[in-house]
Structure 1
C-alpha cells in the first residue's frame, strides 16, 4: 500500500529487505532528524519558547498528509497517527510513516485498542465503535498538544487513576473521554482551541482535514509575518501545495 503513495508529506517507499520469510523490513527514504517524538524529547527546554514557524510548519505538514490520504479514492485512514510515526527531514519538514494499519474507509470500520497506541487513539476507536477519517483528526489534535508541551499526551494525568499496575494506559478512561489535553500557559489560544475541536467526543464537532489544514496554514502565514520569516515555502511544501490543488 505504501508503495502507491505519491505525496511529499508521505515518507517515500524505497523497497523491502529480508533475511528470511518471517523477517521482512520496509526501506524508506532517510529522514535526517528522526521522529518527532524523539525530537521533542531532546528539545524539552525549548517548550517555553512558544510556537515558532517551525512548529506551525510541522503541524501543517501532518495535516496536509492527512488531506492527501483522506482525498484518495477510496479514502484511506492512517489509524496509527502518533508523534513517533512523524519523521523529520534535514529541513525539518514532516512526513507520515508506518502505514501498517492503514485501511480503506468503509461503513463498518472498527479496530481493537491492541492494534494502536492508546494515548493517541480516538475514543470511538478505543471502544471498538465504528469510526471514519475523523479518528485521524483526533490524533492530530493530540500531536498539537505534544508540539506545545514537548511532553507525552496526558503527561500530568493521575497515575493512580490512569495507569494500571504494569504501567499501561487505562483504555477505558480514555475511551470515556475523561482525560483532557493540557497546554502550556504560553500556548496560542488558536492552537489549543483547534486541538480541543480535533479531540471532541462528538465526531461531527471535529474539523475536517481540509478545515484543519486551512486553519494551520493561516496561522503559519500570520506567524511568518509577525516573526519576519521568509514567506516562501520550502521546496517540499511547494510540491505539497501543488499536489493538493491538483487533486481538488
Structure 2
C-alpha cells in the first residue's frame, strides 16, 4: 500500500476505499487524508466505517482524531422514543429528509453513548474519524453546527494516519540514503541509490555495516585519549583560520568517509575522493578568491556563496562555498559534484573539480561564466540593457533545451529538478551554460517515476510532482515551459505585484493563450507587433510553452521534441509553405494562420 497518482491527485487506498492525500509530514510520520464522502457536498452521506486493514504500515492516530458517530434513518415509536434534549437535533440538510419521517443524527463519540436507548430505532451506526483540533476549533465552532453543514466541513478536512518509520522496506531504503521507488499501482519495487542503481531494500552492504561496528568500537576505546590530546593541542596552538561548520561535517571518521556516509557505497558515501575529477587544495582556492573576499563575491547559489577566482594557471573560475548549515547542504554539494564529474556538453557549465573530503571546507570549482544569468537580462538588474533580442532569446531556448535533452538521454538519465532562468548562465557570446545541479536526481531506466518530497523553486515546480510526490523527466519539461514564457514575456515566474490571478506566470500564460490574448502576455518591444516573422515565431514558442505547462505530465512533450521544435524555428523559420515545425496543437490554444506538422525528435546539434 503506497501513495498513487490518480486523476492528478495523490491517493491512498485503505481497504476498498480510496482517500485523497491532503498532507504528508515525514518528520512526524503522519499523513492526513480525506474520504470520497467529503466531496463538494456540504452534507455528504457516509457509506461505511473508516477502518485501516490489519497488517498494513498505517494506523489511525489516537491523539489527533476524534470519532463522529452517524445514525441514519431513525424511526421512533412508543417503544423507542426520540432522544432527550441533551442529544443534538437531527441533521437538518434537505438530503436527509424522508417522506416517512425518518431522521438522521451525528454525534461526537463520548463515554456513555453506548448506553443510549434511542439508537435502537436507527440503522447500524457508521463511525468516521475527524481531526480533533478542528472539531474543537473555537473560531470555526463546528460543534454548534455539527447537525448542519459542520460535519461536512470536518469531513473535508480529513483525518490523520500515522506510521511506524521502522516498519517496511522503505525505512531501510531511506535510512541508507536512498529513495523509495514505486510502480504505477503504488507497490514498493526497490531502493533508488545515488549511483543510479536500484537495490532490493537498501543502498548499504554487510561489509560497510561491519566497518561501522569496528569503527565504533575503536572510537569508544580511544575517546578519552582523544579528548586529552585535543585539549592539549587547543591550548598549545590556536587555529589560524576559522573552521566552518561544513568542515566539521566533512571531517573523515575512523571508518572512512563522512559521518553521514558510513554504511553506504562509494558513490553514496559522500566522499569526493572517489569522484573522477581534479582535487584542489583549500589553500589554492583561498588564494584564488583573495581569501574569499567580499569584493570577489558574485552571487548566492541555492545553498552556497559563489566567488570569482583566478587560478595560478590563468583560468578564471567560479568557486561555490557551502553555507554554514546542515547535513542536507553537504549532501546537495556532493550530489552536484558526483553528477557534474561525469557530464560533458557545450551547454552545461564546465566543472573543473572540487576539494577533497579531507579539506577544511568543501568547495566546488567551475568555469567562470561572465555574462550573468538569463534572469538578470530578462527582468533583473541587466534588463535595462535590452541585450537579449528575440533572435538571441530563441537561441537561448534552443541551447537550454539541448542541455536538458542531453541530461535526459545519458545513462542513467538525470532529472535536473531546478530548471529556471537564474540557473541558465550566459557566456561572453551569449551561449547557454546550464548550472546548479544540487537538486538533480539520477533516474534509473526501469522505473516510471521516483517518489520523493517535492523540491525546487516556486513558480517552476511541476504541479503534478507537487501533488503526487512523483518525479519524472516531464517535471523538467514543465519548468522549461515556464522558462519559455519568461523569454517571450520578459516577466518573472512569480511576481507578487501582479494581479492575484496572475502572480504565477504559468497560470497567467495558460489563461492568456487560451483566451487568444497573446499580445497581453508577450514583450511587445521584441517586435511582436511590428514584424510578422517575429510575431509568428513568438506565437509558435507560446504554443510550445502551453504544451509544456499541461497539468498532466503525460500530455507534455518530451524535452527532445521540444528541442527539435525550437531548433527548427530558429534554423528553418517556418519550414516549407509556412508550416510551423511542432506537433499538432489544440484548437483551444493559440490562434495562428498556419497548420502544424509533427517532426522527428533529435538531440544532436
Match of 2:431 among 93, 112, 117: 93
Number of equivalenced pairs = 213
Whether 1:197 aligns to 2:547 is yes
Whether 1:208 aligns to 2:536 is no
Residue equivalent to 1:158: 499
Distance of aligned partners of 1:136 and 1:22 in 2 relative to their CA distance in 1, 3 Å threshold? farther
Whether 1:138 aligns to 2:488 is no
Q: Please state which structure has a larger fraction of its residues in strand.
A: 2
Distance of aligned partners of 1:180 and 1:101 in 2 relative to their CA distance in 1, 3 Å threshold? same
Distance of aligned partners of 1:180 and 1:85 in 2 relative to their CA distance in 1, 3 Å threshold? same
Would the aligned equivalents of 1:111 and 1:128 in 2 still touch at CA under 8 Å?
A: no
Task: Point out where structure 1 has 5 or more consecutive residues left out of the alignment.
Answer: 164-168, 226-242
Distance of aligned partners of 1:67 and 1:121 in 2 relative to their CA distance in 1, 3 Å threshold? same
Distance of aligned partners of 1:31 and 1:75 in 2 relative to their CA distance in 1, 3 Å threshold? same
Match of 1:27 among 362, 365, 369: 365
Distance 2:360 2:540 in 1: 47
Would the aligned equivalents of 2:340 and 2:437 in 1 still touch at CA under 8 Å?
A: yes
User: Which moves more between the two structures, 93-102 or 9-18?
Assistant: 9-18
Residues 87-138 of structure 1, C-alpha deviation per residue, up to 9 Å, x if partnerless? Answer: 111110011111111112243413434x311211110222243131111111
Structure 1 residue 180: Cα displacement: 3.5
Distance 2:368 2:498 in 1: 35
Higher RCO by CA contacts (8 Å cutoff, separation 6 or greater): 1
When Rg is computed on C-alpha atoms for both structures, the one with the higher figure is 2
Q: Within 5 Å, which residues of 2 pair with 1:1-248?
A: 1-17=339-355, 23-40=361-378, 41=380, 42-43=382-383, 46=386, 52-106=390-444, 107=447, 108-113=449-454, 115-155=455-495, 157-159=498-500, 179-181=507-509, 183-184=521-522, 186=528, 188-222=538-572, 244-245=603-604
Would the aligned equivalents of 2:377 and 2:385 in 1 still touch at CA under 8 Å?
A: no
User: Which moves more between the two structures, 54-63 or 198-207?
Assistant: 198-207
Would the aligned equivalents of 1:33 and 1:39 in 2 still touch at CA under 8 Å?
A: no
Distance 1:86 1:43 in 2: 15
Q: CA RMSD in A?
A: 3.2
Q: Please state which structure has a larger fraction of its residues in helix.
A: 1
Distance of aligned partners of 1:18 and 1:158 in 2 relative to their CA distance in 1, 3 Å threshold? farther
Distance 1:180 1:21 in 2: 48
Task: Point out where structure 2 has 5 or more consecutive residues left out of the alignment.
Answer: 1-338, 513-520, 529-534, 576-601
Structure 1 residue 145: Cα displacement: 1.0
Structure 1 residue 151: Cα displacement: 1.7
TM-score by length of 2: 0.32
Secondary structure of the 2:425 match is strand
Secondary structure of the 1:180 match is helix
TM-score by length of 1: 0.74
